[in-house]
Structure 1
Amino acid sequence: MTTLMCSTERDDTLGSEGLGFRIQPESGWTSLDLQEMWRYRELLYFLVWRDIKVRYKQTALGAAWAVIQPVFTMVVFSLFFGKLAKISSDGIPYPIFSYAALVPWCFFDNGLNLASNSLVGSANLIKKVYFPRLAIPIATVLSGVVDFALAFIVLLGMMFYFGIVPTMNLIWFPFFLLLAFVTALGAGLWLSALNVQYRDVRYVVPFLSQIWLFSTPVAYPSTLLSEPWRTVYGLNPMAGVVEGFRWALLGTETAPGPMIAVSALAACAMLVGGAYYFRRMEASFADVV
């Protein structure tokens, strides 16, 4: 089963009358081979569709869970951080201040948790059929776009209720969504590959998510930090995503500035490193999973 990511070379031991090829795993660090992913794009589409259907199969509330999670978290944050702790919200009503951050955060958090277990959950498929294994975590994160869209519709309704009109900053919105996707996928690639080797990872991920949540300016603004620490804070890619969402959608005066550049670099580094590590470990997935 270790013939994934194989290299073929001519074998002259068969003599001049026959041609033979030896199939063996590639040695060293392998290439990402993104062209192969493009050839399997239809499979990627069906994996995304499968994940969407499985997520809400036999659930009483169905896709409503995509809205319930951020809404109830917003209520809790508004009560404890907004009312009791009187946390600053950069001049924005605290409920929409926190909800605008929870929309991308829930997209990232769900993608991280589901992607980390995606390979183990697809063990039967991995053992039986060859396809680029990168398709599994990518499809898992992409399937969360549906949940994001539903939660985003509620955010638009809240903006209308509070009388907030988007500014020209809105043109940056797709970039921040892409940055959230890159962050979720990068972390998901690392954790999914590690989870195949060490099943302890599935117990670590919930704790990691909680620590990451409170290390991200979801319940509080990043303006509590002064420069240059606010820029350094961008090493957490989700800090740039969250502050970027607020700036693009709510028109806050506290533009992320250099934080966005740092967050983008950190997210790209995480994605590239995770992709190479994933491809490096891919040859052993079928044997171990």
Structure 2
Amino acid sequence: MNKTDARYRVVLEQRKGMRSINLQELWEYRDLLMFLVWRSIRVRYAQSLLGVGWAIVQPLFSMVVFTIVFGRLAKVDSDGVPYAVFSFTALVPWTYFANALTESAGSLVSNANMIRKVYFPRLVLPLSAVVAKLVDFSIAMVMLFGIMLWYKVVPTWGVLYLPFLVVLMMLTAAGIGTWLTALAIQYRDVHYSLNFVVQLLMYAAPVVYPVSLVPEEYRLLYGCNPMVGVIEGFRSALLGTVPMPWDLLGLGGGLSLFLCVTGALYFRSKEKIFADVA
């Protein structure tokens, strides 16, 4: 090989340690992301009798049960608004978070054949689950406004903060989802136990009770669950029951961002084994 040919040699080496997050590569594969989002939506509703009604049934039935058990029987405080509205306002973001987490955790296993055959940034798979669940969330939000209208509850000007709260909600789901996705493909127990864990976590968030029941000295510790600030923020923005919880949102936002970055880095560090263990 002469000196001229040596300039065109390409050496492929395996990277060691943490691999950086290639945002440019993710952007270049945005069409694949949108295709996977559309496929997820179509598969969910194509052969379903209720169709988009499933996006309403889950939080609606939960609201009915919670209203009877916690609102009527246990007499849990609802910050001065009807308990049905109080609980449904929390169930909308929580249902999105729970479903996005479950779907993203199983995204690599369910797309194992795709992973083995072609290259693409694997982060696209859990992210597509997080984005696809926004359809269910939007439908549930319409239902929420209908319930508020029925009970004559008028949204406050804080509704302008909803886009920020939605972004924080998605950031939380994406951060925890990337961690669980990378763990679930190697340790299948993670995926099997996730539904049970998510049910338990719901009671560690203010879904059926207000944050005011938590002692003040434990408020910030309680706020380490990023969904606490999101749920309380939704109630503040839509119902005006409490001031916007900026302390909880700041703490939750910082933790969500930390989970997103570390989750993506851990995901990238394990990416090289996905095709072998999927």
Q: TM-score interval w.r.t. the shorter chain? A: over 0.9
- Please state how far the C-alpha of 1:15 moved relative to its aligned partner: 6.1
Task: Find the partner of 2:163 among 169, 174, 189.
Answer: 174
Aligned to 2:214: 225
Aligned to 1:109: 98
Task: Find the partner of 1:87 among 73, 76, 89.
Answer: 76
* Residue identity matched to 2:22: D
- Please state how far the C-alpha of 1:283 moved relative to its aligned partner: 1.4
Aligned to 2:120: 131
Give distance in 1, aligned partners of 2:255 and 2:81: 28
1:60 aligns with 2:60: no
> Is the 1:166–1:251 Cα contact (8 Å) retained in structure 2?
yes
Aligned to 1:39: 28
Q: Deviations over 1:215-237 (max 9, x none)?
A: 00000001102323122211000
Give distance in 2, aligned partners of 1:277 and 1:112: 17
What residue ranges of structure 2 are gaps of 5+ in the alignment? Answer: none
> Is the 2:235–2:242 Cα contact (8 Å) retained in structure 1?
no
The SS at the match of 1:164 is coil
* Residue identity matched to 1:148: F
* Residue identity matched to 1:184: A
Give distance in 2, aligned partners of 1:218 and 1:169: 20
Give distance in 2, aligned partners of 1:235 and 1:15: 62
The SS at the match of 2:63 is helix
What residue ranges of structure 1 are gaps of 5+ in the alignment? Answer: 1-13
Give distance in 2, aligned partners of 1:143 and 1:258: 30
Aligned to 1:267: 256
- Please state how far the C-alpha of 1:277 moved relative to its aligned partner: 0.5
Aligned to 2:178: 189
Higher strand share: 1
1:257 aligns with 2:249: no
Aligned length: 276
> Is the 1:232–1:259 Cα contact (8 Å) retained in structure 2?
no
- Please state how far the C-alpha of 1:264 moved relative to its aligned partner: 0.9
Instruction: Could you list the structure 1 runs, at least 4 aligned residues long, displaced by more than 3 angstroms after superposition.
Output: 14-19
Give distance in 1, aligned partners of 2:227 and 2:84: 20
Give distance in 2, aligned partners of 1:219 and 1:128: 45
1:240 aligns with 2:229: yes
> Is the 1:223–1:254 Cα contact (8 Å) retained in structure 2?
no
Matched ranges for 1:271-286 at <5 A: 271-286=260-275
Give distance in 1, aligned partners of 2:13 and 2:189: 30
TM-score normalised by the chain length of structure 1: 0.92
- Please state how far the C-alpha of 1:35 moved relative to its aligned partner: 0.9
Mean alpha-carbon deviation: is it higher for 239-248 or for 54-63?
54-63
* Residue identity matched to 1:145: L
Aligned to 1:156: 145
Root mean square deviation, CA, Å: 1.3
> Is the 1:234–1:262 Cα contact (8 Å) retained in structure 2?
yes
Q: Deviations over 1:52-96 (max 9, x none)?
A: 111123221111000000000000000000000000001111000
Give distance in 2, aligned partners of 1:95 and 1:108: 20
> Is the 1:25–1:283 Cα contact (8 Å) retained in structure 2?
no
The SS at the match of 1:228 is helix
> Is the 1:232–1:262 Cα contact (8 Å) retained in structure 2?
no
* Residue identity matched to 1:208: V
> Is the 1:164–1:250 Cα contact (8 Å) retained in structure 2?
yes
1:210 aligns with 2:209: no
Give distance in 1, aligned partners of 2:151 and 2:219: 28
